[in-house]
Amino acid sequence: MSTAPALDPAHTALLVMDYQPAILAVLPEDGNRKALLDRMEGAIANVRTNGGTIAYVRVGFSDADWDAIPAANKSFAPLAQHRVMHHEDPATAIHERLAPQDGDITVRKIRYGGMSTTDLDQQLRERGITTLVVSGISTSGAVLSTVIDAADRDSQLYVLSDGVADPDTEVHNVLLHKVFPSRAHIIDTAELHALLRTD
């Protein structure tokens, strides 16, 4: 049983980050992709049913975004050079199994973190959201950047251990077991269900 504090759905958002076909493709094709989508589909439905907020973050670039990326940016300059991940490419849409619904938050980013190049933090605050349950791909990219940023913004944080994934298993495990616990409660989808409460 988790020792993490119970969640108040009225003030909680599940962040679903980079669940896009182009990003899912970086994960090993060994059946884990389907299992990951199964778990996330269930987690999203669970949060919805209990009255929580779903916030989607996707990465995608316009021509102007590509042109503004400096050559010194080691991570993103190659994407700009090869014009990868255009925001209108269907491969950058949220995966159809996890598609947003009316009332959800959806933002498009152009860097790793979910907040640094979006108005996500503002939208969450306007809804009174103080607690974030973080999921996404990859653990060492979107998840790491967003956890650090959100912690600095004083959000109460949970990382969904079976809702994050990374092509590098060793890095994934180090982050989940050594880095994130100083900033976030680490829970899985079963614990998420148990921690959600309605008054």
pLDDT digits (tens, 9 = 90+) for 135-146: 999 999 999 999
Amino acid sitting at position 32: N
Q: In what order do the strands lie in the sheet with 131-137?
A: 105-109, 53-59, 12-17, 131-137, 156-165, 185-187
Element housing 57 (H / E): strand 53-59
- Inform me whether the pLDDT recorded for 183 exceeds 70: yes
Q: How confident is the model at residue 32 (pLDDT cuts 50, 70, 90)?
A: confident
Which contacts qualify for 115-123: CB closer than 8 Å, 24 or more apart?
115/146, 115/149, 115/150, 115/153, 116/145, 116/149, 118/57, 120/55, 120/57, 121/150, 121/153, 123/55
* pLDDT for the residue numbered 1: 47
- Inform me whether the pLDDT recorded for 186 exceeds 70: yes
From the CB of residue 56, how many other CB atoms can be counted at a distance below 10 Å? Answer: 23
Q: Give the Cα separation of 41 and 148 in Å (integer).
A: 25
* pLDDT for the residue numbered 83: 93
- From the list 103, 171, 113, the residue with the least C-alpha distance to 147 is 113
- Inform me whether the pLDDT recorded for 3 exceeds 90: no
**Whether pTM exceeds 0.75:** yes
- From the list 134, 136, 182, 140, the residue with the least C-alpha distance to 158 is 134
Whether omega before 116 lies within 30 degrees of 0, making that bond cis, reads: no
Amino acid sitting at position 42: G
* pLDDT for the residue numbered 28: 84
Q: Give the Cα separation of 20 and 6 in Å (integer).
A: 30
Beta strand 131-137 pairing with 105-109: unpaired
Size (the chain), residues = 199
Domains of the chain in sequence order: 9-195 (3.40.50.850)
* pLDDT for the residue numbered 160: 99
- Inform me whether the pLDDT recorded for 197 exceeds 80: no
* pLDDT for the residue numbered 50: 96
- Inform me whether the pLDDT recorded for 58 exceeds 80: yes
**pLDDT: which is higher, 76 or 198:** 76
Residue 98, judged by CB atoms within 10 A of its CB (0-12, 13-18, 19+), counts as middle
> Are the C-beta atoms of residues 136 and 95 closer than 8 Å to each other?
no
User: Residue 31 gets which letter from DSSP?
Assistant: S
Instruction: Please write the tens of the pLDDT for every residue from 149-179.
Output: 999 999 999 999 999 999 999 999 999 999 9
State the chain's mean pLDDT as an integer. 95
* pLDDT for the residue numbered 198: 56
- Phi then psi for 24, rounded to 5 degrees? -55, -30
